[in-house]
Every structure is written in C-alpha cells, then in structure tokens.
C-alpha cells in the first residue's frame, strides 16, 4: 500500500514538472511601430507601397519546452495587412507622397521571404532564441527599376523562457529592424528620390 502511494506521488510529481516545463502555442499580433524620424529625407516624391508575404513557412518557430512540436508561434493577423499601413505612415513621416497618382510614382514592392523566431533546443543553460527576417524590395518607375535584399539575423539568450509579451515585442522589433535596414539603403533612397539606378 505504501509503495503504491509512493509510486502515485512520484507519478503526479513528474506530471507537475512536465506541465510546468510545457509552453503553450502563441499567436502574435503583428503591429510594427517605427520611431519618428529626426528630419524628412524626401520632398514629396511620389511612392506607392505594396507588401507581399511569400514566406515558405508561415510558422515562425517553436517556444520550446517539454512539447516543442505543439508550442508553435504564428502570426494572429495577416502580415501584408499589418506591415503596409505602418510602412506608408513611416514614408509619409519621411516626406514622401504616399499613394500618389503622379506618372513618376515609384512602385515599392516589399516582399517578406523569411520571418523566424525559434527556440531550437533546451540545453539546460539559459534559453536561446534564433531570430531572422529577410525581405526583398522591387522598386520600379517607368522603365527603371532597383532591386535589393535585406536580412537581419541574431540570437538572444534569456535566463527564463520569454513571456508572451516579450515574444510579441521581439518579433515586432525584428520586423521594424529589417525594414529600417531596407529604407537605410542609400541606393534605394536615391531611387525613391528620383535618381536613375547605376
């Protein structure tokens, strides 16, 4: 009888430990926010913005834990619908005339090829998260065009598993960072401002 109670207690203890190590799935609301620029870099140059989600994998990654295959992270909303208005607002703040009907309007097509936020494995020392975002840009005006590719890749270690709020903040920051890298491209800026590509 004593042995049975001991086994039952041990079994319940294991279940509690596993449950505490488990991570639930999470859907992240994508809502990128850019910092207000210090000064405009354009003078009303016309631009039309399009954003496409061409990621091969729509799952961002796993939160890890006891059951990593079910503790997945996905987006709660449509990537294109979330990013497009944020980029438009930022370009307006930078001095561009967004969605102009001008004949010299630049068609700025932003294509997301990758968005990764993944805890690869539990090694017992901290909690590593792999982060990656990759976008392409296809800018065209009349018979001219400019293409670019931009990538952000980093790994961040946490003492404990990141919370839902931390995950959301880091994923949104990753999207903003790769888009800021794109907009910092001097050749893209020159093309948006009317210069012909070399």
Residue 197 has what pLDDT? 64
Nearest to 87 by CA among 193, 188, 179, 23: 179
Residues linked to residue 129 through DSSP beta bridges, in sequence order = 156
Residue 33 has what pLDDT? 96
The angle subtended at Cα 177 by Cα 175 and Cα 182, nearest 5°, is 100
**Using CA atoms, how far apart are residues 193 and 96, in angstroms rounded to an integer?**
9
Residue 126 has what pLDDT? 61
Nearest to 115 by CA among 57, 156, 166, 63: 57
H-type alpha helices, the chain: 2-21, 79-93, 164-183, 186-192
Residue 20 has what pLDDT? 38
Residue 140 has what pLDDT? 97
Q: How is the chain split into domains, by residue range? A: 2-192
Residue 164 has what pLDDT? 87
Specify the pTM.
Answer: 0.83
Give the long-range contacts of residues 9-12, CB within 8 A, separation 24 or more: none
Residue 9 has what pLDDT? 47
2-192, which class in CATH? alpha beta
Q: Residue-wise pLDDT tens for the chain (198 aa)?
A: 555 555 444 444 333 333 334 567 889 999 999 999 988 889 999 999 999 999 999 999 887 654 456 689 999 999 999 999 999 999 999 999 999 889 999 999 999 999 999 877 655 556 688 899 999 999 999 999 999 999 999 887 777 777 889 889 999 999 999 999 999 999 999 999 986 665
Nearest to 139 by CA among 93, 191, 87, 182: 191
């Amino acid at each position: 009888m004593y042995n049975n109670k001991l086994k039952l207690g041990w079994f319940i203890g294991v279940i509690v430990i596993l449950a505490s190590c488990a991570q639930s799935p999470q859907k992240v609301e994508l809502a990128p926010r850019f910092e207000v620029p210090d000064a405009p870099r354009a003078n009303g140059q016309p631009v039309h913005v399009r954003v496409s989600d061409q990621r091969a994998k729509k799952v961002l990654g796993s939160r890890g834990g006891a059951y990593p295959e079910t503790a997945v992270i996905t987006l709660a909303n449509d990537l294109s619908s979330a990013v497009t208005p944020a980029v438009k607002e930022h370009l307006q703040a930078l001095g561009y005339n967004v969605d102009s009907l001008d004949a010299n309007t630049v068609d700025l097509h932003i294509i997301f090829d990758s968005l990764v936020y993944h805890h690869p494995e539990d090694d017992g020392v901290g909690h590593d998260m792999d982060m990656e975002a990759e976008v392409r840009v296809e800018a065209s005006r009349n018979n001219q065009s400019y293409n670019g590719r931009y990538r952000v890749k980093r790994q961040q270690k946490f003492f404990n598993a990141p919370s839902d709020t931390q995950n959301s903040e880091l994923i949104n920051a990753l999207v903003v960072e790769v888009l800021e890298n794109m907009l910092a491209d001097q050749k893209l800026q020159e093309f948006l401002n009317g210069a012909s590509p070399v």
